[in-house]
Amino acid sequence: MQEIIKISTDKPNALFDITHQVEAIVFESGIKTGIVNVYAQGATAAIMIQENWDDSVQTDMMNLLTKLIPNGVWLHDTQDGNGDAHLKAGIVGPGETIPVINGKMGLSTWQNIFFCEFDGPRQKRNIVVTVTNC
The span from the CA of 27 to the CA of 57, in Å, is 28
Domain range for 69:
2-133
Task: Say how many domains are in the chain.
Answer: 1
CATH of the domain at 82: 2.60.120.460
Tell me the whole-structure pTM to 2 decimals: 0.96
Each residue's pLDDT tens digit in the chain (134 positions)?
A: 999 999 999 999 999 999 999 999 999 999 999 999 999 999 999 999 999 888 899 999 999 999 999 999 999 989 999 999 999 999 999 999 999 999 999 999 999 999 999 999 999 999 999 999 98
- Fill in the amino acid letter for 6: K
- Over its C-alpha atoms, the chain yields an Rg (Å, rounded) of 15
